Amino acid sequence: MNFDRIKQKLSVLSDAAKYDVSCSSSGSKRANKNKGLGDTNGMGICHTYTEDGRCVSLLKILLTNVCIYDCAYCVSRKSNDVKREAFTVKEVVDLTINFYRRNYIEGLFLSSGIFKNADYTMERLVRIAKKLRTEEKFNGYIHLKTIPGCSNELMHEAGLYADRVSVNIELPTESGLKLLAPDKKREDMIKPMQYVKNTLLQVKDERKVIKSTPKFVPAGQSTQMIIGATPETDRQIILTANHFYTNMNLKRVYYSGYVPVLADSRLPATTMQVPMLRENRLYQADWLMRFYGFKADEILEAEHPDLDTEIDPKLAWALRNMDQFPVDVNKADLHMILRVPGIGLHSARKIVAARKFNKLNAEQLKKLGIALNRAKYFLHWPGIYQSKDYTSNSIRAMILQDSHSKYHRMNNPQLQLF
Ligand code: SF4
């Protein structure tokens, strides 16, 4: 193996992969102390979280940044004048195994530009996963970004070797896709997702009867949308995500703020960076749908199509629905306790379990670790009476005042989550 050449390819193909956020990446630097194969120096290593909350490091690369398509938002688009590289199947397999043996990574996140056509590229991605599993006996995590428009046969093979597969739907609406990625068709993204969904159901049934039925994408499928390259509202984005969660049984939808690297009259100006806060609010709204029982059109109603940047979406919903509060902490069902701002999933379950033995009051709620600074405006317990003078505006002002002063006290740059 020519180490310098591989290092060169790694530099180009890990840099091009950094725009894909669907593995929740963050950079990592690890020096090479033993004259081994290069050093990671942040190249291609990212972190992701497993179902059980473990953080794993992944080698995150493209097979190639050569592409026959010309998606306006993509650095690898064919009309962009960038250095092009491509790994061979063997190079990706060897890199993965070498990095794994050196403990740099626990898995592989592999995506690709499209050379020749969808099946030609996909066949190589599948070959890499197959070689790793069958020849190298690699048991680490593999996430394959599949190529829209590839055949069901290749999707099936991908599912047998990868832990997770995903197809990016790229833009929240079909009109956005037509404008910025005219070579791509929505149905080419839907078809492989549908195939994975149906096969997952079929394999689940078969495994009930025949335990040895091979596993198929055990970590499920996900997708990614680019936010802010087209003018969709947050409501349109969340409704699209909801559609895919409901109809395709997706594990995750990732929201990737558009990074303006290219000038194009169809795109926002290169100075217009999508604020991190927008991505963050979309992830909060996504959590409300997946874990808190909120419906997409409750979070964002037609009259309020964009998420409030000052307050999180759960608080925003509560302030718009003051007629449903205060809720009795000793009687309300879990569904309603989960809707109280300031009470997370874990805390809501603790409340429901603890009140079987005792009536809860402020002292006991504090003992359970519930922070009442927000929740107190929306909860009722013995001995507390909500002031009739509270309005949604006054509560909002008090909470903002409180969080601003806390922000200054703690100088904490993190957003308050629920
Ligand atoms: S198909 Fe993928 S790699 Fe090719 S230009 Fe479009 S987004 Fe970029």
pLDDT confidence of residue 101: 94
Average pLDDT score over residue span 367-387: 84
Q: 417: exposed, middle or buried (C-beta count within 10 Å: 0-12, 13-18, 19+)? A: exposed
Tokens of 204: 């689940």
Average pLDDT score over residue span 168-180: 95
pLDDT confidence of residue 146: 96
Report the domain count for the chain: 2
Please identify, among 295, 326, 345, the residue that sits at the C-terminal boundary of a domain.
Answer: 295
pLDDT at 155 over 60: yes
Amino acid at 382: P
Average pLDDT score over residue span 333-341: 97
Helix, strand, coil shares of the chain, percent, nearest 5, are 40, 10, 45
pLDDT confidence of residue 3: 84
157 and 248 part of one domain: yes
Tokens 């829209």 belong to residue:
148
Average pLDDT score over residue span 29-53: 51
d(CA 66, CA 219) in angstroms, rounded, equals 29
Q: Which helix (DSSP H) or strand (DSSP E) does residue 14 occupy?
A: helix 3-17
Where are the extended beta strands (E) located within 235-293?
Answer: 252-257
Query: Quick check: CB of 69 below 6 Å from ligand 1?
Result: yes
Q: Choose which residue among 12, 21, 66, 69 to substitute to test ligand 1 binding: the one with the highest number of ligand atoms within 8 A of its C-beta.
A: 69
Q: How many CB atoms lie within 10 A of CB 309?
A: 10
Tokens of 287: 């959590």
d(CA 25, CA 15) in angstroms, rounded, equals 12
pTM higher than 0.75: yes
d(CA 129, CA 84) in angstroms, rounded, equals 23
Instruction: Flag whether 302 is in a domain.
Output: no
d(CA 89, CA 27) in angstroms, rounded, equals 25
Mean pLDDT, the chain, whole residue set: 88
270 and 382 part of one domain: no
Instruction: Flag whether 308 is in a domain.
Output: no
Q: Which of 58, 36, 37, 43 is closest to 11 using CA atoms?
A: 43
pLDDT confidence of residue 50: 56
288 and 226 part of one domain: yes
pLDDT band at 385 (very low <50, low <70, confident <90, very high): low
d(CA 148, CA 190) in angstroms, rounded, equals 8
pLDDT at 386 over 80: no
117 and 60 part of one domain: yes
When comparing pLDDT for 49 and 97, which is higher?
A: 97
Please identify, among 233, 264, 295, the residue that sits at the C-terminal boundary of a domain.
Answer: 295
Query: Quick check: CB of 46 below 6 Å from ligand 1?
Result: no
pLDDT confidence of residue 35: 46
d(CA 417, CA 312) in angstroms, rounded, equals 7
Query: Quick check: CB of 145 below 6 Å from ligand 1?
Result: no
Q: Contact, 312 vs 281, CB < 8 A?
A: yes
Sequence-separated (6 or more) residues with CB below 8 Å from residue 265: none
pLDDT band at 45 (very low <50, low <70, confident <90, very high): low
Pairing assessment for the beta strands 164-166 and 221-227 based on DSSP bridges: parallel
Q: Range of 343's domain?
A: 313-417
326 and 396 part of one domain: yes
169 and 214 part of one domain: yes
Cis check: omega of the bond before 326, within 30 degrees of 0: yes
Pairing assessment for the beta strands 55-62 and 45-49 based on DSSP bridges: antiparallel
Alpha-carbon torsion, ordered 240, 242, 248, 249, to 10 deg:
150
Q: What is the pLDDT of residues 114-131, one digit of tens each?
A: 999 999 999 999 999 999
Instruction: Flag whether 331 is in a domain.
Output: yes
Query: Quick check: CB of 115 below 6 Å from ligand 1?
Result: no
Average pLDDT score over residue span 291-296: 97
pLDDT band at 36 (very low <50, low <70, confident <90, very high): very low
Q: Contact, 226 vs 171, CB < 8 A?
A: yes
pLDDT band at 412 (very low <50, low <70, confident <90, very high): very low
Closest ligand 1 atom to Cα of 74? 8
Closest ligand 1 atom to Cα of 170? 7
| Sheet containing 252-257, strands listed edge to edge, beginning at the edge strand earlier in sequence | 45-49, 55-62, 107-111, 141-145, 164-166, 221-227, 252-257
CATH number of the structural domain spanning residue 107 = 3.20.20.70
258 and 350 part of one domain: no
pLDDT confidence of residue 236: 97
Closest ligand 1 atom to Cα of 181? 6
Please identify, among 266, 295, 324, the residue that sits at the C-terminal boundary of a domain.
Answer: 295
Query: Quick check: CB of 67 below 6 Å from ligand 1?
Result: yes
Q: What is the pLDDT of residues 180-233, one digit of tens each?
A: 999 999 999 999 999 999 999 999 999 999 989 999 999 999 999 999 999 999
pLDDT confidence of residue 54: 65
262 and 327 part of one domain: no
Closest ligand 1 atom to Cα of 62? 3
Average pLDDT score over residue span 136-143: 94
pLDDT band at 417 (very low <50, low <70, confident <90, very high): very low
Closest ligand 1 atom to Cα of 67? 4
Average pLDDT score over residue span 83-99: 96
Tokens of 165: 């597969």
Q: Contact, 190 vs 148, CB < 8 A?
A: no
pLDDT band at 18 (very low <50, low <70, confident <90, very high): confident
